[in-house]
Structure 1
Amino acid sequence: MKKMINHVFAVMFLALGLLFMVVPGPSLIFFIAGLLLLAFYYPWARRYLSHFQKALKSSCQFIDKKLARR
């Protein structure tokens, strides 16, 4: 039962992330939340979540460097 509820919320968050890619909204937050919930049960979700975290970290560092130059 707990696993099913987890999957329902994960799919809901991923669907909201896809929706917010089309309309303005916080799509990255919902993608990360959906992957986080799936990462409890699936190793492939852990890999995607790790990839997502590394990409966000590097993009934030890039933006920080650009803003520091001003």
Structure 2
Amino acid sequence: MTNINLDRKLRRKRRVSSNIHGTSDRPRISVFRSSKYIYAQAIDDKTRKTILTFSNSDLKKDAGFKKGKKRDD
């Protein structure tokens, strides 16, 4: 990216981030989607701490799914 595009991107990020904030009563939610999984966080911006994390990869590991096992019908 050129310096002009980076400057515009940073200004846009600061403008948007200044209006978004979370409290312990109403936390900010951050969601990241990868090609396989979804990750979410509840963030309290006053204390700068993550309150809760979630990912569906943990659910798949805990459920005991076996990949590639064939069923007998």
TM-score under structure 2 normalisation?
Answer: 0.28
Q: For CA contacts below 8 A with separation 6 or more, give which structure has more relative contact order.
A: 1
Give the TM-score normalised by the residue count of structure 1: 0.29
Name the structure with the higher strand share.
Answer: 2
